[in-house]
Amino acid sequence: MIPARIESIVDWFDQHLQSFYVLGWSYLRSQKQMEELFYRTIIKVHKEKRQNKNETSFEMSVTSIFIHTCRELSDNSSLLAPEESEPRQNLFKALDQLKEYEKDAMVLTYIKGISKEDAAHLLQVSEEKMKEHLFSGIRSLRKVMGYGSTFNGCKEYHINYLDYLERTMDRTKKIDLEKHLYHCQNCQEDLAAFQDVMLTMLNLSEKMEDFHVPSGFMENVKDRLAEVEKHRQQKNKKRKRMGLVFASVFALLMGIEYFTGAFASHYYSWKEKDPELRAYLQQGLGERLNLKAERNGVKIKIMGAIADDVQTIVFYEIEDTDEDHQYVMNNQDGVLVENEYEIMSHEANLREYPPNLESDVKNEKKNVYHGKISLLPLSKENGTIKLKITKLLKLNPNSSEQNGYSASGDMEYETGEWNFEIPVTKQPSVEYALDEKIEVNEIPVRLEKLTIAPTATLLQYSIPNDQSEKWIDALNFDYLEVNNKKAKADLYGGSYLDTSQDMNWSTFQTNFDPLFREKPKKVNVKFGAIYITVEDKKTIELDATKEYPQTFEYAGSTISIDMVEVEQQTKVVISNHEIENRAFESLQISVVGEDENEPSSMEMNSEEVLVDKNGVEYNEDMAVLYDDIEQPRYFVTVQNIKVETNTGEKMIPKRLEIYGYNITKYLDDVVKISLE
């Protein structure tokens, strides 16, 4: 049986199946891939879904996940044997020849029917860049359709073709272009060919109903989701049984260690240099490996791997045998588990471990780096990870950044191919029900479950999502204390969980440092800070004919309206540089025009000041690392708001609407929980 929240996502896809099916077929080549696409997308949406009641925003979020998954599958040859490839329509074949950014822009705009503004937002590019991608894509399709790839017309008018054909061009520019077209034969031919390609794409969009979704397509996806849920429930039951078995034999293991532990501890203390891996090995978790591969003078050695229900950590050493360079792995780029969908679970979130150059072992040699990388947890009790490395990130020893990346943002890579087969066995975890209900800043919080795994300690908690006047956006912890041992919270290791337990509560999980084989009797939870939203509405009338700056009072502060300007874009600038004792860090704000129903887009840019817990301000000129600042937060001092209508007409600002504000509250609360 599919959980209720996954079923609601499946129902949503049933209602939007036709458009997403055609969108997926623009990237993929077999029904097997298509079923895998919908299955993976539903799982990802299930993990990332928030209490978002805005249907348009939800569809954009789903589309973004869908496109990303299309890219993954189109690059994954393991899901497509040559004989399984199905015939492709000519236009789809032509789309396959485009560059990735061209194809994304074309299918979102002309096949999915998303506006250029929304498509630009999904692809995280500016609207101007989006137009360039569409122009480039149409030019590439033009060649496939027999027109050739070269535009012979006047280059300065190329950028206007889209707006002209879509009838969104400013009247003055439109007249200028039409005058030019009257006298320029080359531009006439270019525009005609350009229009043919656009019409071909638009006709495909209009004929989406002709695309046949195979009978039983979604039923196959549902059956797989139900099967995965069944295995998950069985795994949870087995995990609990393993926890009981682990606890019952703990005393026996301690007795055995009296005879064997001293030798193991002594052996690994000198045999393994990496202190973190050595600690795991001394606890009998995992085995020491010595897997090697070398390409282009760069040697990678896999030292060990530790797997549990949270993640799989791979410890490695990279040596540059030709020069004094250090390289690291990045699991977002150049690291691929070829059999990921056979042996790994996708119910967990992938964790990031940024490079750490502080430890002695990493500074022993200038051409050697010892590091670790987090992969997804195993879905089986044991297996062999087929790991392929195709790209390594070069560290910059002179960088001002703690992680060693170039401060300028320029990344250097070493490419090649290093392949490993890594044997791993999943270590058991133990779960403890907490059932603790408290209030944090007058907002209820439930502490629900503690999981002690070899590689991390997890705290599951829930906060209400139906609060109307004040609610928690983020809750940070300082540490967990178990048996007088403190586990520090990982500020970047939190995640959202969709447990389907209570629609009025959102469930989250925070990762802490591992607590090896601790059996807690009491747990102390130390809070760090909360980031809250306060609803406090205020309306300020605007008049572009008045002189500015003008001021108004809000939440105990005096805010200045520095500028109200009506041009092609309406610009409103507000500022408040007094941050001491200010009630808010940022405002939730918008500009409303005379015609409130007129569709428009709004762009916001801000200037901020970084402030630590003690109120000390840091500016860009100060040589300070963000991670070294005690509980930092940003105060917005200047807010630039730009609004333009979708029709191209000027938007006359009528009022400034403030809906509320955000603020960080520091906490010193310690919750003591007894598990006895």
Question: What are the sequence ranges of the domains in the chain?
Answer: 4-210, 251-425, 430-533+669-674, 535-660
Domain covering 251-425 assigned CATH 3.40.50 in the classification:
no
In this prediction, residue 406 carries a pLDDT of 40
Cα separation values, 122 from 73, 104, 257, Å? 19, 10, 55
According to DSSP, the residues that pair with 301 across neighbouring strands are 292, 317
DSSP conformation class of 497: E
Given this model, what pLDDT does residue 288 score? 84
**58's tokens:** 């939800």
In single-letter form, the type of residue at position 274 comes to: D
User: Which residues lie closer than 8 Å to 298 by C-beta, 6 or more apart?
Assistant: 318, 319, 320, 321, 327, 392, 414, 416, 418
Which residue, among 311, 314, 428, has the nearest Cα to 381 in the 3D structure? Answer: 428
Is the peptide bond prior to 549 cis by the omega test (within 30 degrees of 0)?
yes
* Confidence (pLDDT) at 81: 44
How high is the mean pLDDT in each 10-residue block of the chain (676 residues)? 75 86 85 88 77 58 87 66 50 77 85 83 84 84 67 75 79 80 79 77 60 81 80 58 45 41 45 81 83 94 93 94 90 87 83 68 75 92 94 74 45 91 93 91 92 93 87 90 90 69 83 86 92 93 90 95 89 93 92 76 85 81 59 90 80 90 92 88
**C-beta separation of 304 from 315 below 8 A:** yes
Give the contacts of 198 (CB within 8 A, at least 6 positions apart): 110, 138, 165
User: What's the confidence (pLDDT) of residue 410?
Assistant: 58
Please give the Cα distance from 546 to 567 (Å, whole number): 15
Domains 251-425 and 430-533+669-674 share a fold: yes
Report the Cα 625 to chain-centroid distance in Å: 23
Compute how many other C-beta atoms are within 10 angstroms of the C-beta atom of residue 338. Answer: 15
Task: Please tell me the predicted confidence (pLDDT) of residue 523.
Answer: 93
CB atoms within 10 A of CB 645: 17
Q: Which pLDDT belongs to residue 363?
A: 56
Query: How many Å apart are CA 319 and CA 259, to the nearest integer?
Result: 38
Q: What token pair was written down for 427?
A: 């270590």
Give the whole-angstrom CA distance, residue 407 versus residue 403: 10
What pLDDT does residue 620 have? 60
Reference 333, options 215, 413, 446, 435; nearest CA is 413
Matching residue, tokens 């899901």: 79
Report the alpha-carbon distance of residue 639 to residue 609 in Å, rounded. 12
Sign of CA dihedral 614, 620, 409, 132: positive
- State the pLDDT at residue 148: 60
Residue 585: the pLDDT is 93
pLDDT of 352 reads 79
What pairs with residue 489 in β-bridges? 512
Q: Where are the beta strands (DSSP E) in 135-287?
A: none
Is-above-0.75 flag for pTM? no
Q: What is the CATH number of domain 430-533+669-674?
A: 2.60.40
Burial (CB < 10 A; 0-12, 13-18, 19+), residue 244, is exposed
